[in-house]
Amino acid sequence: MVLEDKTGHEKLAPRTANYVVIGKELYKKAASTGILMKCILRSEGIELLHEIHLGTCGNHTASGTLVGKAFRSGFYWPTVVANAKDLVQRCKGCQFFSKQQHLPAQAMRIIPPS
């Protein structure tokens, strides 16, 4: 893509500053740590979220936790947050357990030291 005008380049430059191409692979630098995360296709990302959410060692976690685990695994795709929210909203197990009350039945009683 050739940018003819200077304004197009000025808009594109900040967006591309966090990306690096190594060999034939595209990586994104993490904002806080600078660690490189491999950019993957949306379909591969959805499979990764399913594996994290429902896999052998998976548990039915919230969407924010899923996104964090995907990033810590070293993968990135632009729609990860929306995909994780959609997965959790469609999961019957998550919806069942989210409706249950997670608070103790009564307030905690303090036992004075003897």
- List pLDDT tens digits, range 48-59: 999 888 877 667
Reference 65, options 45, 85, 47, 46; nearest CA is 85
Average pLDDT, stretch 56-70? 82
What residue segments make up the domains of the chain, in order of their start? 1-39, 41-99
Rounded Cα–Cα distance for residues 90 and 79 (Å): 17
Do the Cβ atoms of 21 and 52 come closer than 8 Å?
A: no
Within 8 A by CB and 6+ apart from 40, the residues are 48, 75, 76, 77
pTM of the model: 0.70
Rounded Cα–Cα distance for residues 94 and 76 (Å): 24
- List pLDDT tens digits, range 27-50: 999 887 888 999 999 999 999 999
